[in-house]
Chains A and B, each alone.
Chain A
């Protein structure tokens, strides 16, 4: 009987390792498939060309530019609001029904499927506010989408700061905001940064909400430049420009029949995966460093 139990245990260990390997194997297989299909397509021409009817001449320049500009809007809007909300909930909020309501909605928003954010954007930003399928709309949509991620990770980072630090600041006569801005925020900066990187890496890969607001899948121009030759030299016209982003470009290529477009899709996918995994790796590294260095 003892031998049978030992056998059962060994068997279970094997099954456990196999099921863990499934995840890792998938990741390897995914990377392998993208590299085999797409790596040969990535060159300077691919990065700097517009999409084309002919697969071999198509490139992802508008998607690269579109993704970067949208990330800019998302970061400028989403990060300050998210961090501010987290500071409020962690440092200021008293237990009232309003705080409770905010907590519940943050938890809920984190679990809302991203395509629902797309419907919100379509109904609210595109039609009620009349912003159209523009870079601004997409940026605002993704900012809302990453809001819960930023709030939750920032709160965790702030919560890790011991209360004695705050008490010391108060004892010296600092006000609440002075304590937060001079002590709590700088000390939790690396934790907040980790959250921001993770949130942006999620936003850059999101497809569904951006398809829903009516982004174009075939774009042969770039948005107007943010810097102009005439005064006032800075133009915000690009905010209202139509756009495409990397995941949508990939989606458009996957949906087209033909071997050539599939390899374009793989190339776009490879870039996308490298970007998101790179950002995630950075976040994991920052968190690892932080855990090692700080001992309160």
Chain B
């Protein structure tokens, strides 16, 4: 008895350094794990930092702008000529250009996109679908500057054959091209929304004797409305922020017009135009692009939020 107790004591004496070493190793390992976790967290916080930086920079430089220009002038003046001697700072002409090009884009993207999405989700065979989807992805991957070239040197000349008095720079050509650019987004989100409509609804409709087309129009599309609207809203956001197409093909001449056959400038095109020149840091012209950018950011933030709320809704209904 006594002897075995001694043996146990002996064992503990020997294993003590081993245990100490093991705890020490575990402790360094634990510390290493925590360091890794903090590092990863830091990387994740980069997106927060970027968002904060965007808001801060836009607000800070716009503040300087609005010290010199009253908000009423900015929102109601119908002239935007910040770089002339007789400077006017009315955002309306740029806003009108942005709205008109986006509207033309939507007039292309919404009907074509909706019909394509219905066709893909309700009529097309799965083989066709698998074939079409990558092509649509490629359509969305073409650099925007190339689309600008396309709008200026292919689409506008083609339109001029229809309307000979269409100027070389106009809002119609770039608008149509923007519509084609946002098409993949509208189609894929729209199709997702219709695919989420449960099969039971369609079967119910077929059981009452409806055709495929009637089922698609009267059952599937209404059931997928919030998802479709989300696709349109996100498309609007993309169209509003699109830069190179309008900077190249719409002419960079800010004047207030709602006629898509005329040249005009959008918010984004104005920013590009100023950035290409050599404006001194801190001048009112320099600050004006941040004020214009702030308007653009507010618009796209709003549309994006709206779009995401809509998308969440269609996912939760069923």
Chain A residues at the B interface, C-beta cutoff of 8 Å: 5-6, 8-9, 12-13, 15-17, 19-20, 22-24, 26-27, 29-30, 33-34, 37, 80-82, 84-85, 87-89, 92-93, 101-102, 105-109, 111-120, 122-124, 127, 144, 147-148, 151, 175-177, 198, 201-202, 204-208, 211-214, 217, 247, 250-251, 254-255, 262, 265-266, 269, 272-273, 276-277, 280-281, 284
How far apart are A161's CB and chain B's nearest CB, in angstroms?
17
A272 proximity list for chain B (CB < 8 A)? 143, 145-146
**Complex interface residues of chain B between 111 and 125 (CB less than 8 A to chain A):** 111-113, 115-116, 118-120, 123-124
B57 proximity list for chain A (CB < 8 A)? 119-120, 123-124
A151 proximity list for chain B (CB < 8 A)? 47
Question: For the complex, is B262 an interface residue (Cβ under 8 Å from A)?
Answer: no
Evaluate contact between A114 and B149: CB separation under 8 angstroms: no
Evaluate contact between A107 and B152: CB separation under 8 angstroms: no
Evaluate contact between B44 and A27: CB separation under 8 angstroms: no
In the complex the two chains form, what is the Cα distance from A111 to B124 in whole Å? 30
Evaluate contact between B272 and A280: CB separation under 8 angstroms: no
Question: For the complex, is B205 an interface residue (Cβ under 8 Å from A)?
Answer: no
Evaluate contact between B50 and A105: CB separation under 8 angstroms: yes
In the complex the two chains form, what is the Cα distance from A118 to B290 in whole Å? 10
B275 proximity list for chain A (CB < 8 A)? 118, 122, 211-214
- Determine which of B39, B116, B144, B154 lies in contact with A205 in the assembled complex, contact meaning CB atoms within 8 Å: B144
In the complex the two chains form, what is the Cα distance from A201 to B142 in whole Å? 9
User: Given contacts A88-B41, A102-B44, A112-B297, are A120 and B148 in contact (CB under 8 A)?
Assistant: no
Q: Write the chain B residue with the least CB distance to A269.
A: B146
Evaluate contact between B50 and A120: CB separation under 8 angstroms: yes
In the complex the two chains form, what is the Cα distance from A23 to B139 in whole Å? 7
In the complex the two chains form, what is the Cα distance from A120 to B148 in whole Å? 24
B276 proximity list for chain A (CB < 8 A)? 211, 217
How far apart are A242's CB and chain B's nearest CB, in angstroms?
13
A117 proximity list for chain B (CB < 8 A)? 54
Evaluate contact between B44 and A113: CB separation under 8 angstroms: no
Extra 12 A-B pairs, beta carbons < 8 Å, given A85-B40, A212-B272, A277-B141: A23-B116, A23-B180, A29-B150, A88-B40, A93-B41, A120-B53, A148-B47, A177-B36, A208-B268, A250-B145, A276-B141, A276-B143
How far apart are B300's CB and chain A's nearest CB, in angstroms?
6
Evaluate contact between A88 and B154: CB separation under 8 angstroms: no
In the complex the two chains form, what is the Cα distance from A87 to B136 in whole Å? 29
How far apart are A74's CB and chain B's nearest CB, in angstroms?
14
How far apart are B269's CB and chain A's nearest CB, in angstroms?
10
User: Given contacts A108-B304, A123-B60, A284-B134, are A85 and B44 in contact (CB under 8 A)?
Assistant: yes
How far apart are B263's CB and chain A's nearest CB, in angstroms?
14
Can you pick out 30 interface pairs between chain A and chain B where the beta carbons lie within 8 Å of each other?
A5-B213, A12-B115, A12-B119, A16-B124, A30-B146, A30-B154, A34-B146, A85-B46, A101-B48, A102-B44, A106-B47, A107-B304, A109-B50, A112-B297, A114-B243, A116-B296, A116-B297, A117-B54, A119-B271, A119-B289, A119-B290, A144-B50, A206-B143, A207-B145, A250-B149, A251-B148, A273-B142, A276-B142, A277-B138, A280-B138
- Determine which of B48, B271, B304 lies in contact with A212 in the assembled complex, contact meaning CB atoms within 8 Å: B271
In the complex the two chains form, what is the Cα distance from A23 to B275 in whole Å? 33
User: Given contacts A123-B60, A208-B272, A276-B143, are A105 and B40 in contact (CB under 8 A)?
Assistant: no
Evaluate contact between A116 and B293: CB separation under 8 angstroms: yes
Q: Write the chain B residue with the least CB distance to A8.
A: B213
In the complex the two chains form, what is the Cα distance from A16 to B44 in whole Å? 43
Evaluate contact between B61 and A123: CB separation under 8 angstroms: yes
Evaluate contact between B296 and A115: CB separation under 8 angstroms: yes
Q: Write the chain B residue with the least CB distance to A33.
A: B154
How far apart are B123's CB and chain A's nearest CB, in angstroms?
6
B43 proximity list for chain A (CB < 8 A)? 80-82, 84-85, 88
Evaluate contact between A20 and B120: CB separation under 8 angstroms: yes
**Complex interface residues of chain B between 161 and 190 (CB less than 8 A to chain A):** 180, 183-184, 187
User: Given contacts A22-B112, A92-B40, A118-B275, are A277 and B50 in contact (CB under 8 A)?
Assistant: no
User: Given contacts A16-B118, A85-B44, A88-B40, are A30 and B148 in contact (CB under 8 A)?
Assistant: no
Question: For the complex, is B22 an interface residue (Cβ under 8 Å from A)?
Answer: no
In the complex the two chains form, what is the Cα distance from A144 to B48 in whole Å? 11
Which of the 9-residue segments B6-14, B67-75, B234-242 touches chain A?
B234-242
Question: For the complex, is B58 an interface residue (Cβ under 8 Å from A)?
Answer: yes
- Determine which of A119, A148, A255 lies in contact with B293 in the assembled complex, contact meaning CB atoms within 8 Å: A119
How far apart are B104's CB and chain A's nearest CB, in angstroms?
15
**Complex interface residues of chain B between 257 and 285 (CB less than 8 A to chain A):** 268, 271-272, 275-276, 281
B44 proximity list for chain A (CB < 8 A)? 84-85, 88-89, 93, 102
Q: Write the chain B residue with the least CB distance to A210.
A: B275
A254 proximity list for chain B (CB < 8 A)? 145, 148-149, 152-153, 248
How far apart are B248's CB and chain A's nearest CB, in angstroms?
6
